[in-house]
Structure 1
Amino acid sequence: MEVVWFVLIGIAAGWLAGQFVKGGGFGLIGDLVVGIVGALLGGFIFSFLGIGAGSGLLGSLIVATVGAVVLLLLIRLLKR
């Protein structure tokens, strides 16, 4: 069941990041990949800075979304 939540949070975080960064999304699979990689990146960033976003669904979504936004900004920076 945890895998299902991880995938759903990844999709939501990827979609939210696409909305924040203002650009075309990558589709369902692309948003999922951006969200999952962003969740890992966000977890690393938050733990490195010593910031806690809380536990549970909302905290996971915040961390994943922040990581996905950072990932999208890096991707767009490298595309230029």
Structure 2
Amino acid sequence: MGIIATLIVGAIAGWLGGTIYKGSGLGLIGNIIVGILGGGVGSWLLERVLRVSLGGGWVGSILTGAIGAVVILFVINLILRKKE
């Protein structure tokens, strides 16, 4: 996947993950970062741990990234709540 496609998929996955998690808006850059990191986390979680594949292509990448983004946002929320 090219860099532009990665940024687009990351932005959509991050936005979708933030929408699903009901968190505050992260903005475009935050969505891209969370979405790209979420793609790695989601891929590891689904393929290695759960042994599930959501398919290839744009839709599979976006869904995998969104699932990973939700996991990342959940962990960040746990960490920030403990500090308060």
Q: Same fold (TM over 0.5)?
A: yes
| 1:61 alignment counterpart | 62
Please tell me the root mean square deviation across aligned C-alpha atoms, in Å.
1.1
C-alpha distance in 2 between matches for 1:66 and 1:17:
6
Aligned residues: 80
Runs of 4+ in 1 over 3 A off after TM superposition: none
Q: TM-score, normalised by structure 1?
A: 0.94
For 2:63, what is the secondary structure of its paired residue? helix
The structure with the larger Rg is 2
Q: TM-score, normalised by structure 2?
A: 0.89
Unpaired segments ≥5 residues, structure 2: none
For 1:20, what is the secondary structure of its paired residue? helix
C-alpha distance in 1 between matches for 2:42 and 2:15:
15
Unpaired segments ≥5 residues, structure 1: none
Return 20-29 or 57-66, whichever deviates more: 20-29
Percent of pairs identical after alignment?
40
